[in-house]
Amino acid sequence: MSLFSYQNLKKILFKLDPETAHTVAGLGLRAIAHCPVLLRYVKNKNFVTHPILQQDIFGRTFQNPVGLGAGFDKNGQYITAMPTMGFGFTEIGTVTPKPQDGNAKPRLFRLLEDNSIQNAMGFNNKGSHYMLQRLKELYFFDYPMGINIGKNKLTPEDEALNDYETLFKAFKNYGDYIVINISSPNTPGLRDLQNEAFIKAIFKMAKEITTQPVLLKIAPDMEPEDAIALCKTAVEAGAAGIIATNTTIDYSLTPHAKDFGGISGALLTEKSYQLFKAIGKELYGKTLLISVGGIDSAEEAYRRIKAGASLVQVYSMLVYRGPALIKEINEGLIKLLQKDGYKHISEAIGADYK
């Protein structure tokens, strides 16, 4: 094992408060992004591309199907470094119209025994104006990117549409897709917006403002029939895709959980998969599906792909495994696809229903 391996670095990072460790890791990524020679070296080491994995989605070429989930790069500060981690695409945010500090600290916890994370961050970010400036600086950066948007904490539920309208207008010329986040458990009342009336209203509004693909991200704690009904409503209203799932508030999953915030990582794996598969069974072939939640191996990513996912996202497991995980997943997917006789990933997507 190299002296500079992630497992050695993790020993140092895990001695720090989780939020401090996140900041330190971010500084490292920004440093890499500002050193072209190092950036090329690390990207060549980690980034996997192969014709069997390449897909054209939303008018862009995704070199591999493994992306970074929202929540890591809240302010668009690490976009140029993401290819060096091996990701085929990234999703920035969640960004709100106005800057906000998020919830009181401590608000990020490692559930070490469970290879999981619990967070109660509360959409801490520098706001839409700051994010716009970041994106303008990256005008010529050619890399698939989504923008995850949410309402401000102090915005009343009956005024939530105004926040999303502001964000659609702000980012209508940026990013390759936009994600409506109404499924985080850390903004009071946000999950209450997961209802048919609001879904119809927000997608109607989105179509009047932007031609970008707009996706809906849902929570894992809904009953399957309710989640399916909500997703169907979204697709009928104009959603270009569904992302399943966000973090869970099912604290019965472990005795180590706090009684607030959302759990992600290994504890979420099966819960996320089961809901995703229920949605995939109904909506595969009718809209784009992205799976996220406890994906920690090529086998798990492949399970989501066969259940209907065109793309998958990783975040929390990256904390425990490091960037080598992304390379392992992509290289493993190539082997799994070839083993099953597939010439292209598209042949495996939704295989459970073919």
Classify burial at 209, counting beta carbons within 10 Å of its beta carbon; exposed 0-12, middle 13-18, buried 19 or more. Answer: middle
**Residue 265, annotated ligand binder?**
yes
User: For residue 139, what pLDDT band results from cuts at 50, 70 and 90?
Assistant: confident
**Residue 316, annotated ligand binder?**
yes
* Domain total of the chain: 1
Structure tokens at 271: 């819960």
Classify burial at 201, counting beta carbons within 10 Å of its beta carbon; exposed 0-12, middle 13-18, buried 19 or more. Answer: middle
What are the tens digits of pLDDT across the range 235-294? 999 999 999 999 999 999 999 999 999 999 999 999 999 999 999 999 999 999 999 999
Residue 218 in domain: yes
**Residue 342, annotated ligand binder?**
no
User: For residue 168, what pLDDT band results from cuts at 50, 70 and 90?
Assistant: very high
Q: Domain of 31: which CATH number?
A: 3.20.20.70
pLDDT > 70? residue 4: no
pLDDT > 80? residue 329: yes
Residue 296 and residue 269 in contact, taking contact as beta carbons nearer than 8 Å: yes
**Residue 294, annotated ligand binder?**
yes
pLDDT > 50? residue 132: yes
Domain of 178, in residue numbers: 6-353
Residue 1 in domain: no
pLDDT > 80? residue 1: no
- Residue 2 among the catalytic residues: no
Amino acid, single-letter form, for residue 322:
G
**Residue 131: closest CA among 169, 103, 171, 91:** 171
**Residue 277, annotated ligand binder?**
no
Q: Which pLDDT score, from 0 to 100, does residue 106 have? A: 97
What are the tens digits of pLDDT across the range 217-232? 999 999 999 999 999 9
User: For residue 210, what pLDDT band results from cuts at 50, 70 and 90?
Assistant: very high
Residue 287 in domain: yes
Q: Which of 116, 184, 272, 291 is catalytic?
A: 184
Residue 52 in domain: yes
pTM for this entry: 0.97
Residue 201 and residue 193 in contact, taking contact as beta carbons nearer than 8 Å: no
Residue 103 in domain: yes
**Residue 247, annotated ligand binder?**
yes
